Amino acid sequence: MTARTAKRVQTLCIYTALVLGAVVFVIPFAWMISTSLKPLNETMSLPPRWIPSVVQWQNYPEAIEQMKLFWRYTGNTLYLCAMTVIGTVASSALAAYGFSRIEWRGRDKVFILVLATMMIPFPVIMVPLYTLFRELGWIGGFKPLWVPSFFAGAFNVFLLRQFFLTLPKELSEAARIDGASEWQIFLHIILPLAKPALIVVALFQFMATWNDFLGPLIYLTDQSDFTLALGLQAYQSKEGGTDWHYLMAASTLVVLPVVILFFFTQRYFVEGIAATGGKS
Amino acid sequence: MTKYEKRRLRLGLLFISPWIAGFILLSLYPLLSSAYFSLTDYSVLSKPVFTGLDNYHMLMEDKLFWQSIWNTVFFAALSVPINLITAIFLAVLLNFNLPGKKVFRTLYFLPSLVPMVCLGVLWQWMLNGQIGLINQMLSPFCEAVNAVLGTAISPPNWLADPAYAKLGLVLASMWGVGNATVIFLAGLQDVPRSLYEAAELDGCNFWQKTRHVTLPIISPVIYFNGIMGLIGSFQVFAVPYVMTNGGEGPGRSLLFTATYIFNKGFQAWSMGYACAIALILFLIILTLTLLATYASERHVYYAGK
Amino acid sequence: MTSTRLGLFGLFFLSVILFGFWLEEENPHKTEDGRIIIEYWDKWSGAEREAMQELVDEFNRSQDEIYVKFLSVSNITRKIMLATAGGMPPDLAGVWAADLPVFATQGALTPLDAYALEYGIAPSDYLPSIWRQLVVHDHLWGLPTTPATNALHWNKDLFRQAGLDPERPPHTIAELEAYNERITQFDDQGRILVLGHLPTEPGWWSANWSFWFGGDVWNGHDTLTADSEANRAAMNWIASYPERFGPKPLLGFRQLSGVFASPENPFFRGRVAMVLQGPWMYNFIQNFAPEDFNWGVAPFPALRLEDYGTSLVETDCIVIPRGAQHPELAMAFLDWLQQPEQLERLCLGQLKFSPLAEVSPDFYRKHPNPHIRIYRELAESPLARSRPQILTFNEFSSDMGSVIDNLVRGEQSPAEALQELQARQAALFDRKHTQWEKVSNARLKEWSSQ
């Protein structure tokens, strides 16, 4: 077996594994799209029916119409996404830098506190948080949904810290010898190199805000302030059944932008380093 | 402390100041509040009444609480390593420079994007003992074994069987592995190409390169995903919730501690009790995280430290 | 250069925050034309929400003093809990009457006795089986919106195929089981094809089976009796299913029941002939059952013939939380909503029957559900039952669900399961009851003085 055939066999193996896995992983999405094009009485069949008997494209405009404020909800959601992404990326990059690239006494002990904040089950902090936002007069508005993202959430700080720590120490030291301040090192050396991780953080935050149901449910008090995730319940009624075809059509519309966003941004976090010359 | 150390300290605190503010307001204050609630009888609807250690005494004798802890530990012990290995494996495959890799990466990430309501229905079908996809794939295998060995094994009833329900949940939670995979993918970009080239010159094959170059370099990311998996699986809630339609599974096999906290706090009007459970869970996760951190310290390689 | 960049970074950060604060206005307390805003939250979504929204809009058009701001989300209980804890509840909230005992005893509601007197709202205006659910510890806490009862729904075609009279549903449990034997069919591998009845299809009222066995799960006052004779009889009846049909075939059968609100519902697919259900079944059948689906509604069979006609009456209701900003104005809307014209329109829109004592002749003519009178008669019957007003009902109910699941899987004996449940639930019940007794005197005094 020559090296070339060996390479080919390897490629073939990888492809087979990837295709098999992809089939399993694509099931939920394929099912969602197929359901979104079905008549109502073909949804939820057991085992699932993959090809609808009639393809009902009109489910999409009808779903939008039934949600009534679809575009308004989209606007609200995009606003919240923009605010939380900006807040998260900026604040957690700062904090992560402080936890990784600057050495100060007790740093790693304080970092345990960062991790600890993620271990508190959410149901039990809902009441105090609500009370806090009420004291601030924020209930009924968007502020409880985006202001916290400006305070460096633990998940993102942890993620960025881990990435910052993989960058060689010599980078900072060389810059320090050149007389650069910490701010300059942060902005000019670390941030550009950590672009893949920053984009991952931005993407995750975008998705989290985009899909958040509980937050808007608790804090919003006006139907026209709803987000898309909350608006999806327009198709579910306890005593009239669920309009599954509309629910799936609207869900597809809601998810599609994220899929596209993911498809086109992966270049930046998967190939980002190679494109900018990297560090080697 | 020297003057230099003081300056570094000030600088460090300045950088983490957004986090400090958030920590005090959004984490410490709620945590202390719920620690106080755990010493009270609190229905949320009226003011808490101090009852001392009552809730904790009750906890010790609460069979359902212990069952929920056992279920949670069992689930975490299975799902954390399985998901971690799957995510690394997928990330390594997806990192090959193959045509169509972008499409593959997107496909593997898709389940993380599908709304929970939809996933719940699908899981119930895939894990269905009679007509589920998984059992359809397993049954020829079982028949082959039966034909050879003369046994009478059949595929399990997953969600309907207390012995297999948690295993079914582990399978279902693997669909969400896309997030960790993406983080690993981003981590893999940090591996300097020169190291691979050097390894190739030394005659290392693919697995040796992975073992001796890739894994050590991305070890901070493995640590990250491991800890996040630990924290996440000890608070597993949404997936079993939609899979059981808000129930507890056959023989309470899917009653997890986070579910129990939710039920006590928001359905049984016993927030004080829920807070006591939450505090115990918090301490368990914290202890395990510290142990994991301690144990992995020698294996995590930080270029920046 | 770098300090400019640093400045820009900080400036950008701050300006985003300022932008957000500037963009978002405070929620107003008055409309632009000076009307006071009444916040009304309810738990409906979809078509039920639409029916209420129309009424709210109509009320708002007729008003120059009040504007009702209607907000409807499906998981409302948590939202109301948090808002109450935060001290800023809505002026009106839609809850289930089953939640009233907890809300009321926790001091989270405004008693409506004085308002009822002022507006001339009397118990005699409503069906007694509904009114009594709104009263906890002799005080009135809510006014009803849309009620429901549960009844036997049967598939007439399956009856005919089994050689049974499709117009004569069973009256007693013994009859039900005789029918069950006739209808149930197995295939040659021992799998169940059709089942006459199975208590877990869909099994929504785990805590209330004792009603049809002539009893309850508490003494109506201060003791939980999950192991009462009636509940034991009910559980023995459920445990007889795995004994007769085998736990394995039953498990296989249950796994083929798809999503309830779908054509896979075993009742719609003709896999189960008899189910315990409510008036909403009409909507589901319209949406998901085959077009020629032939069904009937009758009281659910009881152990003894004299209990035939028993049903569980439930009702949605609207309360004024304690701490509401404008209770008087909220009551004005609530009173308007309680007028027969409005209430009947709401019940028609949500396809329920009317909770009022008198029903206008038009109501049944306009009602699309041909069986609506049967549900209503069940609520009128002296045998009508309501959920036990116990403070631990949610926990009790889910625990009973677990017991029933264990019984159907044949994993536990009824006696053992009930004994374990009684021990656990009685402890929880006693705890809540003792807590209530500590504050009851103060609470009762406070309510009477209002």
Q: What is the block-wise mean pLDDT of chain B (305 residues), using blocks of 10 residues?
A: 86 92 93 95 91 94 95 96 94 84 86 78 82 83 86 83 90 88 85 81 83 86 93 91 84 93 92 96 96 87 76
Report the DSSP pairing between strands C92-96 and C36-42.
Answer: parallel
Residues C345-376: pLDDT tens digits?
999 999 999 999 999 989 999 999 999 999 99
Task: With respect to residue A104, please indicate whether it lies within any of the assigned structural domains.
Answer: yes
Q: Is the peptide bond before C202 cis (omega within 30 degrees of 0)?
A: yes
Query: Among A47-51, B249-253, C290-294, where is mean pLDDT lowest?
Result: A47-51
Nearest-CA distance C217 → chain B (Å): 18
Q: Which pair of structure tokens corresponds to residue B46?
A: 């009226």
DSSP annotation of C49 reads H
Does C320 touch chain A if contact means CB atoms closer than 8 Å?
A: no
- C-alpha dist (Å) from residue C331 to A197, C116, C125, C142: 55, 9, 17, 11
Residues C311-358: pLDDT tens digits?
999 999 999 999 999 999 999 999 999 999 999 999 999 999 999 999
State yes or no: pLDDT of A42 exceeds 60.
yes
What local confidence, expressed as pLDDT, does residue A6 receive?
81
Q: Mutual orientation of helices A3-36 and B63-94 as an angle, nearest 10°?
A: 130
List chain A residues with CB under 8 Å of B193. 278, 280
Q: Is the peptide bond before C361 cis (omega within 30 degrees of 0)?
A: no
List chain B residues with CB under 8 Å of C391. 269
State yes or no: pLDDT of C45 exceeds 50.
yes
CATH number, domain of A129, equals 1.10.3720.10
Does A20 touch chain B if contact means CB atoms closer than 8 Å?
A: no
Nearest-CA distance A135 → chain C (Å): 9
Chain-chain contact of C71 with A222 (C-beta, under 8 angstroms)? yes
- C-alpha dist (Å) from residue B78 to B82, B166, B168, C115: 6, 9, 11, 59
Chain-chain contact of B268 with C394 (C-beta, under 8 angstroms)? yes
Contact predicate B223/B296, CB 8 Å: yes
List chain B residues with CB under 8 Å of A151. 18-19, 21-23, 25-26
Residues B45-80: pLDDT tens digits?
888 999 999 999 999 999 999 999 999 999 999 999
Mean pLDDT estimate for chain C: 92
Residues C51-69: pLDDT tens digits?
999 999 999 999 989 999 9
Residues C130-146: pLDDT tens digits?
999 999 999 999 999 99
Task: With respect to residue A142, please indicate whether it lies within any of the assigned structural domains.
Answer: yes
Nearest-CA distance C157 → chain A (Å): 21
State yes or no: pLDDT of C4 exceeds 70.
no
Comparison of pLDDT for B28 and C17, the residue scoring more: B28
- C-alpha dist (Å) from residue A133 to A138, A139, A220, C18: 5, 6, 12, 18
C308: alpha, beta or left? (left if phi > 0; alpha if psi -120 to 50): beta
A-B CB pairs within 8 A amount to 290
- C-alpha dist (Å) from residue C277 to A125, A279, C153, C286, C388: 38, 68, 6, 15, 19
Closest CA to B187 of C62, C433, A160, A180: A160
Nearest residue of C to residue B271 by CA position? C81
Does A257 touch chain B if contact means CB atoms closer than 8 Å?
A: no
Residue listed under structure tokens 């009758």: C298
Chain-chain contact of B267 with C402 (C-beta, under 8 angstroms)? no
Closest CA to C431 of B41, B45, B47: B41
**Separation of alpha carbons C424 and C194, rounded Å:** 37
What local confidence, expressed as pLDDT, does residue B201 receive?
86
Task: With respect to residue A160, please indicate whether it lies within any of the assigned structural domains.
Answer: yes
What local confidence, expressed as pLDDT, does residue C346 receive?
96
For residue C45, give the nearest of A40, A218, A234 by CB distance: A234
Residue listed under structure tokens 């939670």: B173
Q: What percent of chain C has pLDDT over 70?
A: 98
| Mean pLDDT calculated for residue range C167-190 | 95
Range of the domain at A95: 68-237
What local confidence, expressed as pLDDT, does residue A279 receive?
38
**Separation of alpha carbons B152 and B168, rounded Å:** 21
**Separation of alpha carbons C217 and C223, rounded Å:** 9
> Confidence band (pLDDT; 50, 70, 90) for A280?
very low
Closest CA to A91 of B20, C368, B195: B20
Mean pLDDT estimate for chain A: 86
**Separation of alpha carbons C283 and C286, rounded Å:** 5
A-C CB pairs within 8 A amount to 131
Nearest residue of A to residue B234 by CA position? A119
Total number of residues shown for chain A:
280
Residue A50 phi, psi dihedral angles, 5° rounding: -90, -35
Total number of residues shown for chain C:
450
Chain-chain contact of A233 with C79 (C-beta, under 8 angstroms)? no
ipTM of the complex: 0.90
Mutate to test the interface with A, among C84, C262, C316 (most CBs of A within 10 A): C262
Q: Which of residues 80-119 of C touch A (CB under 8 A)?
A: 82-83, 85-88, 90
Task: With respect to residue A11, please indicate whether it lies within any of the assigned structural domains.
Answer: no
Q: What is the 3-state secondary structure (H, E, C) of chain B?
A: CCHHHHHHHHHHHHHCHHHHHHHHHHHHHHHHHHHHHCCEECCCCCCCEECCCHHHHHHHCCHHHHHHHHHHHHHHHHHHHHHHHHHHHHHHHHCCCCCCHHHHHHHHHHHHHCCHHHHHHHHHHHCCCCCCHHHHHHHHHHHHHHHHHCCCCCCCCHHHCCCCHHHHHHHHHHHHHHHHHHHHHHHHCCCCHHHHHHHHHCCCCHHHHHHHHHHHHCHHHHHHHHHHHHHHHHCCCHHHHHHCCCCCCHHHCCCCHHHHHHHHHHCCCCHHHHHHHHHHHHHHHHHHHHHHHHHHCCCCCCCCC
Report the DSSP pairing between strands C92-96 and C311-319.
Answer: antiparallel
| Mean pLDDT calculated for residue range A241-252 | 86
What local confidence, expressed as pLDDT, does residue A272 receive?
43
State yes or no: pLDDT of A271 exceeds 60.
no
Chain-chain contact of B131 with C103 (C-beta, under 8 angstroms)? no
Does A232 touch chain B if contact means CB atoms closer than 8 Å?
A: yes
Residue C222 phi, psi dihedral angles, 5° rounding: -140, 10
Domains contained in chain C, CATH given: 36-147+314-385 (3.40.190.10), 151-312+389-434 (3.40.190.10)
> Confidence band (pLDDT; 50, 70, 90) for A274?
very low
- A123-132, B127-136, B142-151, C296-305: which is most confident: C296-305
State yes or no: pLDDT of C96 exceeds 60.
yes
List chain B residues with CB under 8 Å of C251. 129, 157, 160
Please give the distance of CA B236 from its chain centroid, rounded to a whole number. Answer: 7
Contact predicate C321/C31, CB 8 Å: no
What local confidence, expressed as pLDDT, does residue B25 receive?
92
List chain B residues with CB under 8 Å of A124. 30, 34, 37, 261, 265, 271, 274-275, 278
Beta bridge partners of C272: C195
Task: With respect to residue A73, please indicate whether it lies within any of the assigned structural domains.
Answer: yes
Closest CA to B91 of A270, A207, A159: A270
DSSP annotation of C315 reads E
The secondary structure element, H or E, covering residue C275 is: strand C272-277
Task: With respect to residue A146, please indicate whether it lies within any of the assigned structural domains.
Answer: yes
What local confidence, expressed as pLDDT, does residue C154 receive?
97
Task: With respect to residue A13, please indicate whether it lies within any of the assigned structural domains.
Answer: no
- C-alpha dist (Å) from residue C378 to A163, B135, C165: 67, 45, 23
DSSP annotation of C218 reads B
Q: Which pair of structure tokens corresponds to residue B129?
A: 């003992």
Please give the distance of CA A224 from its chain centroid, rounded to a whole number. Answer: 24
Mutate to test the interface with C, among B41, B45, B60, B244 (most CBs of C within 10 A): B45
Domain count, chain A: 1
What local confidence, expressed as pLDDT, does residue C5 receive?
61
Domains contained in chain B, CATH given: 52-296 (1.10.3720.10)
State yes or no: pLDDT of C1 exceeds 50.
no
**Separation of alpha carbons C81 and C69, rounded Å:** 19
Does A11 touch chain B if contact means CB atoms closer than 8 Å?
A: yes
Comparison of pLDDT for B95 and C1, the residue scoring more: B95
Mutate to test the interface with B, among A124, A145, A146, A171 (most CBs of B within 10 A): A124
Task: With respect to residue A119, please indicate whether it lies within any of the assigned structural domains.
Answer: yes
Nearest residue of A to residue C7 by CA position? A183
